Amino acid sequence: MIIFVTCRIGQIIGRSFSRGFFNLGKYVNQVALDYRAVCGDIVKDSRKHPLKAIFYSCTSCGLLGLYMTNPDFARYTIQLTQANCDLANVGEPIRSPATVAYLSEVSKLQKRKVLRHTTFGLFSIIWLDNASDHLRVYAATCKMLKVRWIDMLSEHRIVDVGFANSWWLLRSSMREYDVNELEFNESKHVTKLHQIGFNV
């Protein structure tokens, strides 16, 4: 009796699997036919409207490229560390005061662990939070004190914007990091005094 029941259950399970695989095969075949029809329509439409096809292709490739090169917080940390190293290799008299101030401020915020990363698929932002997420004080855990989206704009909490595998405000701050603007201002002032007859 037990053997008969076991065999019967095995037959039922086997039929179920056979039907399942058969239905799965039909489904996959139907999906393949649908995709084949869609691809055929795309090719026909591309031949009729080549400029439209080129535009859509370039746009799709551009959006895909932005998505694939959307930088994360680790990339920001690496870029910030590299910027500090590049600045350290330059003598203090010729360092740009603006670059020094910017990197110093951002590095302090990073050490306080108040920098946050939010991605929007094609680009990301680094923004300033109220407190470190490692703290369990009231200011860090209260939902009413969380930073809102409107606060990021009104309170200038956006620290950096990243896309195309780079953080652009940080990159912009390093544009002329080895040029001290104050030196040029002083030299211009001295030159002007010489021109008007003063001995400096």
Q: What is the pLDDT of residues 5-32, one digit of tens each?
A: 355 544 545 555 455 555 656 766 777 7
Lowest-confidence region among 37-46, 74-83, 158-167: 37-46
Tokens of 71: 């930088």
pLDDT, tens digit, 9 for 90 and up, residues 113-172: 999 999 999 999 999 988 887 777 776 777 777 888 888 887 789 999 999 999 999 999
- Nearest-angstrom CA–CA distance, 144 and 125: 22
- Bridge-partner residues for 115, per DSSP? 128
Q: Are strands 124-128 and 158-163 parallel, antiparallel or unpaired?
A: antiparallel
Chain-centroid distance of CA 3 in Å reads: 62
Reported pTM: 0.68
Tokens of 174: 């390093």
Mean pLDDT of the chain: 78
